[in-house]
Structure 1
Amino acid sequence: MANRYAETLIMNWDDLRYFLAVAREGQMLGAARRLGVSQARLSRHIASLEQAVGTRLFNRTTRGCTLTSDGEILISTAERMEAETQSAAQDLQKREEVSGTIRIGAPDGFGSAFLAPRLGRFRTAYPDLRIQLVPAPRSFSLSEREADLAIMVGRPTKGRLRVRKLVDYSLSLYAAKSYLERAGKPNDISNLMGHTLIGYVDDLIYTPELNYVGDVIKDWRRDIEVSTAIGQFEAVRAGAGIGILHDFMADGLPDLERLFCGATVKRSYWMVWHENQGVTRRVQAVADLIDAFVREDRQKFNH
């Protein structure tokens, strides 16, 4: 009987809907009223289904209808199909609701190295959504709509904001193997002062959270200053000197070497949006999607 069901159920969902109504109401009249159809029409659908599966599904008495043993087998399959159909309809409705334009502001390292390669997956999940990604070394004013959703380094404490912690991340000292071959490998952190060091442009650091060189060595002297995390990453990778890079960007690259594994800086990314955006479906959907992407690769962020 199971094989006969597999061959016929997809084509007879309407019949199954009537079958479920009778099974739940326990009588033809009550099921017809529930569906808003005539009892004759309901009977025709039940007869059509019984003919399709080749067996009787209900025992009919003056007191109502009870499932036969074959009917008991069918109902679990029918209820599963009903649940899957409802779930699919809800998913389609959600996709339709997530439309319009959303602007995501993010630090340039996270925005360019992590979010940008995943923008295609945003489109796959929400094809009606227009995405603007702004990866920049700056703060974003959510009240002035510079971004609908922002990724920030450190938790903001001011403003009418909704805040969700995204992930802790680590940064470590790196140098290109070409640089170490040329300049030698420091055997102690104190020896760093004899090397070319790369860091942020001091007066352009837009949040105290990024002024982390003192966490590694107190007297860090920047010989090369670059205002973006991506710029520092490219300078270090090209062999210009030693820098503090995001582990999720640098770790595992064959041309870079991580130095002094104990000298690690810890920071956190937070997702933030204005409280007026709290009920906007597209903001909630994108925040959930970013959170899911980070969970997939959480091990990359912390060393």
Structure 2
Amino acid sequence: MLDDIHLFIEVARRKSMSQTAKDLGLNLSTLSRRIQALETKLTEPLLQRTARGIVLTAKGEQLYTSLADSMLALNNQITALNCDSNSSNTFYLLCPQNIIADLLMPALNTFIKDNPSLNFHISPSNANSQLSQQRFDLAIRIGQQQDSSYYQKRLGAIAVKLVSKKSAPQNRLILPYTQTQLPTGMLNKLTELYSDISYCFDITIARKMVEEGNGVGLLPMSEISCITNKQAFDYIEFQPAFANRPIYALWHNTRQPNQTASQLITLIQGVIEQTPCLQGDIIKLG
């Protein structure tokens, strides 16, 4: 029965039977039968299926609120016992390469010095790859997160604007974002404005291309802040304005991150509080 309660909690977190089955490596029909068996034992339905996904019944909400944290903590402890003796001294961090290597590096350095016995696995990447396919204790992500199966905390925000060197050609756009990272219809509007578009899916490289005067760039303030001669650049107004991209910390299983992850989150928040371009502010140019 405890295993079935754990499965119910995982479904309740994700609000999706199919996603839960995929993440846990279960057959969907098997998962459905296990949930139905639990409902039979408790003599009350726990879930309702709607067009928008899974909704908890009153009994389901009560069960989830009462047991979720303790069940997930127990599962984590069992998982830890099954790992080798070195695993407790290992910390896996996923993070955007551009801001961790620059603006957030002081937080990371302090964290490493404060935890001399930890073995770090740092995976820097600017691509928002699926978290379910990677091992991590903490992930730092920029932009709206679609996966509801992880707990998250908003840490800051980064404004995005079109920027160009004053002497640069205005017909070429340098774009470091995919269509899915842009608001609906935004790519079509940009295509109407710019006859040539160069895609560069590394934001730092895109910024260096703009800094060299190779075209107009759609860049976050975290990169614009790194431009050396800001007087030589101007913003290009665009309507509707680009929405700020939020910065999130994400973690597994429990509503509160573990002590080690919480320590790094606190250090990152401290840096963000001292860094206007990570709070949604616009960098002054020209």
Give the alignment's TM-score, normalised by structure 1: 0.52
Unmatched segments (≥5 aa) in structure 2: 1-87
Amino acid at match of 2:145: P
Equivalent of 1:270, from 231, 236, 248?
Answer: 248
Equivalent of 1:219, from 177, 192, 198?
Answer: 192
Amino acid at match of 2:137: D
Match of 1:63 in 2: none
Equivalenced residue count is 189
Task: Give how far 1:117 is off.
Answer: 5.4
State yes or no: 1:200 paired with 2:176.
Answer: yes
Please tell me whether the aligned partners of residues 168 and 213 of structure 2 are also in contact (alpha carbons under 8 angstroms). Answer: no
Match of 2:156 in 1: 167
Q: Secondary structure at the match of 1:152?
A: strand
User: Cα–Cα, structure 1 residues 163 and 279, in superposed 2: closer, same or farther, change >3 Å?
Assistant: closer
The alignment-based identity, stated in percent, is 17
CA deviation vs aligned residue, 1:157-211 (integer Å, no higher than 9, x gap): 43431110111210122223xxx3364xxxxxxxx4xx2211137xxx3843588
State yes or no: 1:241 paired with 2:215.
Answer: yes
Q: d(CA) in 2 for partners of 1:253 and 1:206?
A: 25
Match of 1:77 in 2: none
For the pair shown, the structure with the greater C-alpha radius of gyration is: 1
Give the alignment's TM-score, normalised by structure 2: 0.55
Match of 1:122 in 2: 111
State yes or no: 1:289 paired with 2:237.
Answer: no
Q: Which has the higher helix share?
A: 1
Task: Give how far 1:147 is off.
Answer: 2.4
Q: Secondary structure at the match of 1:113?
A: coil
Q: Secondary structure at the match of 1:156?
A: coil
Superposition CA RMSD, Å? 3.3
Q: Residues 86-165 of structure 1 correspond to what in structure 2 (within 5 A)?
A: 100-116=89-105, 118-165=107-154
Please tell me whether the aligned partners of residues 167 and 213 of structure 2 are also in contact (alpha carbons under 8 angstroms). Answer: no
Please tell me whether the aligned partners of residues 154 and 209 of structure 1 are also in contact (alpha carbons under 8 angstroms). Answer: no
Please tell me whether the aligned partners of residues 225 and 277 of structure 2 are also in contact (alpha carbons under 8 angstroms). Answer: no
Equivalent of 1:258, from 230, 234, 238?
Answer: 234
Task: Give how far 1:285 is off.
Answer: 1.5
CA deviation vs aligned residue, 1:211-264 (integer Å, no higher than 9, x gap): 895498462445321111112112111222110111132137343413136765
User: Cα–Cα, structure 1 residues 261 and 251, in superposed 2: closer, same or farther, change >3 Å?
Assistant: farther
Q: d(CA) in 1 for partners of 2:185 and 2:273?
A: 25
Match of 1:51 in 2: none
Amino acid at match of 2:173: L
User: Cα–Cα, structure 1 residues 100 and 135, in superposed 2: closer, same or farther, change >3 Å?
Assistant: same
Match of 1:280 in 2: 258
Amino acid at match of 1:129: L
Task: Give how far 1:133 is off.
Answer: 2.8
Please tell me whether the aligned partners of residues 143 and 274 of structure 1 are also in contact (alpha carbons under 8 angstroms). Answer: no
CA deviation vs aligned residue, 1:34-60 (integer Å, no higher than 9, x gap): xxxxxxxxxxxxxxxxxxxxxxxxxxx
Unmatched segments (≥5 aa) in structure 1: 1-98, 184-191
Please tell me whether the aligned partners of residues 200 and 228 of structure 1 are also in contact (alpha carbons under 8 angstroms). Answer: yes
Q: Secondary structure at the match of 1:219?
A: helix
Please tell me whether the aligned partners of residues 96 and 125 of structure 2 are also in contact (alpha carbons under 8 angstroms). Answer: yes
Please tell me whether the aligned partners of residues 158 and 277 of structure 2 are also in contact (alpha carbons under 8 angstroms). Answer: no
Q: Secondary structure at the match of 1:114?
A: coil
CA deviation vs aligned residue, 1:103-129 (integer Å, no higher than 9, x gap): 221233333332345432222333333
Please tell me whether the aligned partners of residues 144 and 245 of structure 2 are also in contact (alpha carbons under 8 angstroms). Answer: no
